[in-house]
C-alpha cells in the first residue's frame, strides 16, 4: 500500500492538536511517574503514525483513531494497577487532546471540530499552568491557526476565480506577525492588573483534592466531601466542617498573631511596692490581664524580634478569615488614638450600643447611626467576610464601614460599635466560627480628601524629643513646598515608603522605638504606622493607629472567588480624620498596596490645568494656528506624497494623481459624487477654464490608454499628471466651485 499523502489542511490541524497535547503534557510531566508518562506518549505516537502512514485505508484509519482516543484511558487503568496512578482530570484532558488529534485526520468538518477542540484545550491548559512561559504554547497555536485560516481564504478565492488568483507572498507571514504582535501588546497591557494565581497546597487542579485515603491519585488539594467544599471553598457558604474541639484548639487572638508576626511586647522590670494577695485576688488579676490582652486595649511599639510559634501550622486550614472582595483591602479590628512614646491606647468614645435597622432587598442591615443616611448610595460597596477561627468579638471590616448583615439575623442587639469605632458582637466570647458577614462600606473619592482636610494647629499627644531632630523638624523637612494638608500627608507617606525599609526582625535598643526607627530608617509596619500618625498630627491632622489584617493580592483563590487571610497577614496602618468626622486610611509601609482614592473628572481636569496650564495655552495657540493654516499644510502634504508615491509605485502614478485631485476637491468643498465617472467629473469642473480643461483631457486620455489599451508611455503619463497637479490646487478648486455655483 502507498503511504498516505497529507495535504496542507490536515498537516496544520495535526500540528495544532499536537500543540494542545504538549500543553497538557507540560502539566503532567513534573508530577507523574516519568516511566508511565513516556510510555503513554510513545504508545499514542506509534499508534497514530502507524495508522496514518502504514495502513491508510478508511477502516484502518478509523481503528487507529479510536485506539488513539482510548489509549490514555487504558493506560490510566494500567498505571493505577501498577501503583503509579494518574489523576482522573489529567486523563480526561489527555483524552480530549487525542480526540482532537484523531479528528484532524478526518474530513473537513471533523478538522474544523479538531481546530476548536485543540484551541480550547490549549487555552485551558495554559490558563491553569503555573509556568510563566506556558503562554508561548498558546501564541504558537494561535500563529498556526492564523496561518491555517489565511490559507483557507485564498483557496476559496481560487475556487471562485475565472482564471487564477495571484497570491500575495507576504500576506500569510504578515497576518501571523500581526496576530502575535497583538497578543504581546494585549498581554503587556493587562500585565499586573490581575491578582496572582495561587498554587494549591500539594496539587495543581481543583479536582485533585483529598488524601491518599480517599484516592491514590489525590494530592491534598481542596479536600473532598460536599460539606468541606461548601464551608471552605466558598466564603459565602456555611458548613460545619470541623468539630468545636478542633476549632477551639487552633484559634488565636489578634494579640497572639501580632506576637508571632512582629514580636512580643517587651516586659518592663519595675520594682514596685508589694503586698500579700489571696489566691482569689491572684486569679482575678490574672483574668483582668488576659481580658485586657484579648480585647486589645493597648498596643506596644517596643517589641522583641518575632519568634514563630507555629500554633496554626498544623491545622488543616490555616486561614483565620476569608474575604470575598477586592484584594489589597485592610480589615480593621482595633483602633488607638493616644500615644505615650511607647504604647498606644484608646481614649475616644465612639460607642454605639444600638445600631440603625434598615431592610434592603429583604436583608436586615444594622447601620452606624452617624452615617446610616449614606447607605444604598452609588458609592456603597458590599462584600462578604467569613470568620473561620478568630478568638475575638471584633468583626474585621474595611474603613468607612456603614453597616453589617448576617443572614437570618434581625435582632439589633447582635451588633454594636465599640469605643474605638470598631464593629463587634456584644454578649459573646467571640464571633461564632463560620459566620458569614456581609459588609457595606462607602467608597471615598479623592475630591473629599482635598475638601475635607482643613489646616489646623499641630495636635501633640506627647512631646517627643528625638536624638537628632524634633518630630516637627521631620514634618517640616518632608512637607517643604507643600501647601494643602492632603498634599503634605502624601509627601509624608511617600518619604516613608521610599526612604525607609520594612523589616519586622529589627530589635530596638532605645527607650522609645520611634527614635531608633527614624534614625536607622528600618523597622516593622507598627513603627511605620506610628511615625505616619505622629507626623500627621504635626501638620494639624487628627490621626490614630489601626491594627487588623491585610488582604494579600497573592493569596486570592481564583477558583473559589475569595482570599484566605492567614495569621501572618496581621498588619498595622494609620487613619486620618476628615472634617465631617469620617476617617480614611493611609498606607506608609512599603510592600503594601496604597488605598485607591479615585478622583472625579472635574478634579483631574483641575489638577491637569493647574500643573500644565502654560503648556495647555501653548498647545491651544498651536492648534489654532494649525487650523488657520490647515489648507497650506494639506497642500504641502499632497505635494510631497505624489513624487514619493510615483517613485515607489511607478505603475500606479496615474491612480495616485487622481487620488490627490479628489482629495483636493473634497477639502475645497466640491467632492466627486459617488458613481460619477472620474473623467466626466474632472472635465465638468474644469469646463470654465480652457487651459485646465485641456490639461484634464490630456490626463484622462493618458489614463484611459494605460487602463484599457494596454499601451502607455511612462514619461507621457507622468508629464500629464504633473501638469494637472501643478495647476489644479485647492484654491483653484475653490474658485472653480464658486464659478460653477454662480
Please answer whether residues 224 and 214 qualify as being in contact, where contact means their C-beta atoms are separated by less than 8 angstroms: yes
Whether residue 217 lies inside any domain: the answer is: yes
User: Which of 262-271, 363-372, 375-384 is modeled with the greatest confidence?
Assistant: 363-372
**What distance in Å separates the CA atoms of residue 39 and residue 28, rounded to the nearest whole number?**
13
Residues 119 and 80 in one domain: yes
**What distance in Å separates the CA atoms of residue 628 and residue 622, rounded to the nearest whole number?**
10
pLDDT at position 680 is 85
Residues 201 and 165 in one domain: no
Note the helical H segments in 453-594.
Answer: 471-478, 485-499, 513-520, 525-538
Each as own residue / partner, the long-range contacts of residues 283-290 (CB below 8 Å, 24 or more positions apart, any chain) are none
Mind listing the pLDDT tens digit for each residue in 244-272? Answer: 333 334 456 666 677 667 767 766 554 33
SS3 state at 584: strand
**What distance in Å separates the CA atoms of residue 247 and residue 683, rounded to the nearest whole number?**
94
Residues 19 and 127 in one domain: yes
Q: Pick the residue with more confidence: 112 or 186?
A: 112
Residues 198 and 148 in one domain: no
**What distance in Å separates the CA atoms of residue 404 and residue 360, rounded to the nearest whole number?**
12
Say how many CA atoms lie within 13 Å of 56 toward its Cβ. 8
Q: Over 50: is that where the pLDDT of 280 sits?
A: no
Helices (H) and strands (E) counted in the chain, each on its own, are: 23, 19
pLDDT at position 238 is 44
Would you state the cell numbers that stand for residue 192, as one nine-digit string? 499586573
**What distance in Å separates the CA atoms of residue 537 and residue 515, rounded to the nearest whole number?**
17
Q: Over 60: is that where the pLDDT of 229 sits?
A: no
Residues 204 and 107 in one domain: no
Residues 645 and 696 in one domain: yes
Would you state the cell numbers that stand for residue 217, as one nine-digit string? 491519585
Mean pLDDT over each residue of the chain, to the nearest integer: 77
What is the rounded average pLDDT of the residues 729-735? 85
Residues 202 and 141 in one domain: no
Mind listing the pLDDT tens digit for each residue in 16-27? Answer: 999 999 999 888
**What distance in Å separates the CA atoms of residue 382 and residue 397, rounded to the nearest whole number?**
11
Whether residue 113 lies inside any domain: the answer is: yes
What is the rounded average pLDDT of the residues 585-594? 94
Mind listing the pLDDT tens digit for each residue in 402-412? Answer: 999 998 888 88
CA 462 vs. chain centroid, Å, equals 42
Q: Which of these three, 189, 214, 246, is where a domain ends?
A: 189
Q: Over 70: is that where the pLDDT of 277 sits?
A: no
Whether residue 550 lies inside any domain: the answer is: no
Q: Which domain holds residue 45?
A: 8-189
Mind listing the pLDDT tens digit for each residue in 695-726? Answer: 888 888 877 776 665 555 566 666 777 778 78
Cβ neighbours for 563, distance < 8 A, ≥ 6 positions apart: 322, 323, 324, 325, 327, 551, 552, 555, 556, 557
DSSP readout, 301-351?
Answer: S-BPPP----TTTTSS---SEEEES-TT-EEEEEEE-EE-SSEEE------
Q: Pick the residue with more confidence: 679 or 54?
A: 679
pLDDT at position 363 is 86
Would you state the cell numbers that stand for residue 426, as one nine-digit string? 456584644
Residues 38 and 110 in one domain: yes
Whether residue 208 lies inside any domain: the answer is: yes
- Closest listed residue to residue 499, CA positions, set 513, 515, 520: 520
Q: Pick the residue with more confidence: 38 or 278?
A: 38
Q: What confidence tier does 330 reach under pLDDT thresholds 50, 70, 90?
A: very high
- Closest listed residue to residue 462, CA positions, set 581, 343, 546, 574: 343
> What percentage of the chain exceeds 90 in pLDDT?
21
What is the rounded average pLDDT of the residues 324-343? 91
Please answer whether residues 316 and 228 qualify as being in contact, where contact means their C-beta atoms are separated by less than 8 angstroms: no
- Closest listed residue to residue 119, CA positions, set 6, 7, 12, 45: 12
Whether residue 166 lies inside any domain: the answer is: yes
Residues 35 and 167 in one domain: yes
pLDDT at position 459 is 58
H or E element that contains 501: strand 501-502
pLDDT at position 529 is 95
pLDDT at position 282 is 37
Q: What confidence tier does 212 reach under pLDDT thresholds 50, 70, 90?
A: very low
Q: Pick the residue with more confidence: 70 or 85?
A: 70
Torsion over CA: 674, 676, 679, 682 (sign): negative
Please answer whether residues 399 and 381 qualify as being in contact, where contact means their C-beta atoms are separated by less than 8 angstroms: no
pLDDT at position 465 is 54
Cβ neighbours for 631, distance < 8 A, ≥ 6 positions apart: 667, 730, 731
Q: Over 90: is that where the pLDDT of 168 sits?
A: no
Whether residue 94 lies inside any domain: the answer is: yes
pLDDT at position 190 is 54
**What distance in Å separates the CA atoms of residue 447 and residue 451, rounded to the nearest whole number?**
6
The dihedral region occupied by 602, where left means phi > 0, alpha psi between -120 and 50, and beta the remainder, is alpha
Cβ neighbours for 163, distance < 8 A, ≥ 6 positions apart: none
DSSP readout, 93-105?
Answer: HHHHHHHHHHHTT
- Closest listed residue to residue 459, CA positions, set 556, 570, 562, 544: 544
Mind listing the pLDDT tens digit for each residue in 651-677? Answer: 777 888 888 888 888 888 888 887 788
Whether residue 149 lies inside any domain: the answer is: yes
Number of independent structural domains in the chain? 3
* DSSP, res 566: P
How many residues make up the chain in this entry?
Answer: 742
How many CB atoms are located within 10 Å of the residue 318 CB? Answer: 17
Q: Over 50: is that where the pLDDT of 426 sits?
A: yes
Whether residue 506 lies inside any domain: the answer is: no
Residues 171 and 200 in one domain: no
DSSP readout, 17-86?
Answer: HHHHHHHHHHHHTTTS-HHHHHHHHHHHHHHHHIIIII--SHHHHHHHHHHHHHHHHHHHHHHHHTT---
Residue 259: exposed, middle, or buried by beta-carbon count in 10 A (0-12, 13-18, 19+)?
buried
Residues 148 and 38 in one domain: yes
Mind listing the pLDDT tens digit for each residue in 446-478? Answer: 888 988 887 665 555 444 555 545 788 888 999
Residue 476: exposed, middle, or buried by beta-carbon count in 10 A (0-12, 13-18, 19+)?
middle
Q: Over 50: is that where the pLDDT of 391 sits?
A: yes
Would you state the cell numbers that stand for residue 717, as one nine-digit string? 503619463
Q: Pick the residue with more confidence: 694 or 179?
A: 694
How many CB atoms are located within 10 Å of the residue 565 CB? Answer: 27
Alpha carbon separation from 670 to 123, 168, 546, 631 (Å, rounded)? 53, 37, 71, 15
H or E element that contains 630: helix 630-648
Residues 676 and 695 in one domain: yes
DSSP readout, 102-162?
Answer: HHTTS-HHHHHHHHHHHHHHHHHHHHH---TTTHHHHHHHHHHHHHHHHHHHHHHHHHH-S
Amino acid at each position: 500500500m502507498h503511504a498516505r499523502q497529507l495535504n496542507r489542511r490536515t498537516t496544520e490541524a495535526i500540528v495544532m492538536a499536537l500543540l494542545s497535547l504538549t500543553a497538557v503534557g507540560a502539566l503532567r510531566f513534573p508530577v507523574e511517574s516519568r516511566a508511565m508518562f513516556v510510555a503513554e506518549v510513545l504508545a499514542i505516537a506509534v499508534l497514530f503514525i502507524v495508522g496514518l502512514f502504514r495502513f491508510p485505508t478508511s477502516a484502518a484509519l478509523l481503528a487507529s483513531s479510536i485506539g488513539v482516543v482510548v489509549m490514555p484511558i487504558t493506560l490510566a487503568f494500567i498505571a493505577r494497577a501498577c501503583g503509579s496512578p494518574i489523576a482522573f482530570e489529567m486523563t480526561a484532558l489527555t483524552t480530549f487532546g487525542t480526540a482532537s488529534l484523531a479528528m484532524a485526520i478526518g474530513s473537513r468538518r471533523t478538522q474544523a471540530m479538531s481546530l476548536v477542540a485543540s484551541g480550547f484545550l490549549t487555552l485551558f491548559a495554559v490558563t491553569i499552568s503555573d509556568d510563566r512561559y506556558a503562554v508561548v504554547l498558546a501564541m504558537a497555536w494561535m500563529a498556526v491557526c492564523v496561518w491555517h485560516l489565511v490559507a483557507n481564504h485564498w483557496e476559496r478565492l481560487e475556487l471562485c476565480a475565472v482564471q487564477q488568483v495571484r497570491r500575495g507572498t507576504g500576506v500569510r507571514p504578515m497576518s501571523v506577525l500581526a496576530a502575535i504582535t497583538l497578543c504581546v501588546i494585549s498581554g503587556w497591557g493587562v500585565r499586573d492588573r490581575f491578582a496572582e494565581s495561587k498554587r494549591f497546597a500539594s496539587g495543581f487542579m481543583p479536582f485533585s483534592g483529598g488524601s491518599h485515603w480517599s484516592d491514590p491519585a489525590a494530592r491534598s488539594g481542596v479536600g473532598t466531601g460536599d460539606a468541606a467544599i461548601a464551608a471552605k471553598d466558598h466564603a459565602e457558604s456555611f458548613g460545619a466542617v470541623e468539630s468545636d474541639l478542633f476549632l477551639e484548639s487552633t484559634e488565636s487572638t489578634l494579640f497572639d498573631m501580632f506576637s508571632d508576626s512582629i514580636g512580643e511586647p517587651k516586659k518592663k522590670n519595675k520594682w514596685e511596692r508589694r503586698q500579700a494577695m489571696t489566691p482569689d485576688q491572684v486569679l482575678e488579676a490574672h483574668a483582668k490581664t488576659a481580658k485586657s490582652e484579648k480585647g486589645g486595649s493597648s498596643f506596644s511599639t517596643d517589641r522583641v524580634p518575632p519568634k514563630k510559634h507555629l500554633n496554626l501550622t498544623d491545622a488543616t486550614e490555616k486561614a483565620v478569615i476569608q474575604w470575598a472582595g477586592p484584594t489589597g483591602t485592610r480589615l480593621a479590628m482595633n483602633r488607638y488614638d493616644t500615644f505615650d512614646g511607647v504604647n498606644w491606647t484608646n481614649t475616644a468614645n465612639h460607642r454605639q450600643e444600638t445600631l440603625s435597622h434598615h431592610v434592603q432587598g429583604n436583608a436586615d442591615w444594622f447601620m452606624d447611626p452617624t452615617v446610616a443616611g449614606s447607605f444604598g448610595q452609588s458609592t456603597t460597596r458590599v462584600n462578604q467576610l467569613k470568620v473561620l477561627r478568630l478568638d475575638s468579638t471584633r468583626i474585621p471590616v474595611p474603613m468607612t464601614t456603614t453597616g453589617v448583615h448576617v443572614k437570618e439575623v434581625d435582632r439589633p442587639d447582635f451588633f454594636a460599635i465599640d469605643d474605638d469605632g470598631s464593629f463587634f458582637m456584644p454578649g459573646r466570647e467571640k464571633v461564632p466560627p463560620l459566620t458569614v458577614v456581609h459588609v457595606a462600606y462607602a467608597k471615598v473619592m479623592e475630591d473629599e480628601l482635598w475638601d475635607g482636610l482643613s489646616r489646623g494647629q499641630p495636635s501633640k499627644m506627647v512631646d517627643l524629643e528625638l536624638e537628632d531632630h524634633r518630630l516637627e523638624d521631620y514634618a517640616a523637612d518632608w512637607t517643604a513646598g507643600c501647601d494643602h494638608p492632603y498634599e503634605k500627608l502624601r509627601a509624608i507617606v511617600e518619604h516613608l515608603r521610599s526612604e525607609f525599609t520594612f523589616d519586622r526582625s529589627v530589635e530596638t535598643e532605645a527607650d522609645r522605638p520611634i527614635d531608633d526607627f527614624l534614625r536607622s530608617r528600618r523597622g516593622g509596619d507598627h513603627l511605620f504606622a506610628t511615625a505616619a500618625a505622629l507626623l500627621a498630627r504635626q501638620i494639624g491632622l487628627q490621626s490614630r493607629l489601626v491594627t487588623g489584617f491585610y488582604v494579600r493580592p497573592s493569596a486570592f483563590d481564583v477558583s473559589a472567588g475569595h482570599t484566605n487571610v492567614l495569621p501572618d497577614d496581621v498588619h498595622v496602618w494609620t487613619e486620618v480624620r476628615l472634617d465631617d468626622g469620617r476617617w480614611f486610611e493611609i498606607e506608609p509601609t512599603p510592600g503594601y498596596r496604597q488605598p485607591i482614592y479615585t478622583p472625579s473628572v472635574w478634579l483631574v481636569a483641575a489638577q491637569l490645568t493647574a500643573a500644565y496650564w502654560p503648556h495647555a495655552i501653548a498647545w491651544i495657540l498651536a492648534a489654532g494656528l494649525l487650523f488657520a493654516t490647515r489648507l497650506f499644510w494639506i497642500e504641502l502634504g499632497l505635494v510631497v506624497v505624489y513624487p514619493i508615491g510615483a517613485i515607489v509605485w511607478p505603475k500606479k502614478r496615474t491612480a495616485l494623481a487622481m487620488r490627490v485631485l479628489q482629495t483636493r476637491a473634497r477639502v475645497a468643498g466640491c467632492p466627486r459624487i459617488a458613481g460619477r465617472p472620474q473623467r466626466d467629473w474632472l472635465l465638468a469642473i474644469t469646463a470654465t477654464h480652457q487651459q485646465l480643461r485641456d490639461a484634464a483631457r490630456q490626463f484622462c486620455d493618458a489614463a484611459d490608454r494605460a487602463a484599457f489599451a494596454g499601451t502607455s508611455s511612462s514619461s507621457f503619463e507622468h508629464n500629464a499628471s504633473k501638469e494637472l497637479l501643478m495647476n489644479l490646487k485647492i484654491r483653484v478648486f475653490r474658485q472653480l466651485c464658486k464659478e460653477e455655483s454662480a
